[in-house]
Amino acid sequence: MTLRLRTAHTADLAPGDLRAVRELLDAAFDGGFDDHDWDHGLGGLHVLVHDARGLAAHGSVVQRRVLHRGRSLRTGYVEAVGVRADVRRTGLGGRVMAELERIVDGAYALGALSASEEGAALYAARGWRVWPGRICVLGPDGVVRLPEEEGTTFVRPSSAGPLDPAHELVLDWRDGDVL
C-alpha cells in the first residue's frame, strides 16, 4: 500500500480537502463529530494520510493557552484524529500522531489532548500521560473546574519543564465541548 503523508495549514487546504476531512471524521466518530468539534480542529496544522482509495487518516494541532502555576503555556492541542474504518489498526493513527508530535515538540511548550476511550491506548502507548490533577477552563464567568475531563486529558510536556499536578491546568474557553 502506497501512502502519501501531507502536512498543511488550514489556509492551504482546498475546499475539497476540507470536505474529505469532514466526511472522514463524521464516519470515524459514527455521527458524534459535530460542528463545534469541526471548528476546534481548524486554524492550525493538519496531517493527512492518503492511500489509493483517498483520505485514510487525519489529525490536526491548534494553538491554545493553558494556565499552570502562574504561567501561560503555548499549547499544541491535538484535535480531530480519525482513521478510515477499513484501515484502522494498521499504524496510520501512529503515523499521524508522529507528525503531530514533531510539531508539538518543536513549536509548543506543552502538548495536550482529550481522548476518547477508543483513542486513549494509542496516546498512552506513544508516551502521552493522563493529567493526574484538576482540569479547569477559564470561562466567561471565571475559572470553572471540569471534573468530567479529569482522567481523559493527556499531556505531553515539551519545553514547559515539569508540571505540578498539585496545581490545575486551566484551558482557554471555546464554544462546544471546551476540551
CB 81 within 8 A of CB 154: no
CA distance 148 to 177: 11
At 179 the pLDDT is 83
- 94 neighbors 126 (Cβ within 8 angstroms): yes
User: What is the reported pTM?
Assistant: 0.95
Domain extents in the chain: 4-172
pLDDT of residue 108: 96
Which ranges in 85-157 belong to alpha helices (H)? 92-107, 117-125
DSSP state of 173: P
Residues of the chain with pLDDT under 70: 1
Each residue's pLDDT tens digit, 33-56: 999 999 999 999 999 999 999 999
The CATH class of the 4-172 domain is alpha beta
How much is the pLDDT for 1?
66
**Given its phi and psi angles, is residue 80 left (phi above 0), alpha (psi -120 to 50 degrees) or beta?**
left
Which pLDDT score, from 0 to 100, does residue 150 have? 95
- Within 13 Å, how many C-alpha atoms sit on residue 102's CB side? 11
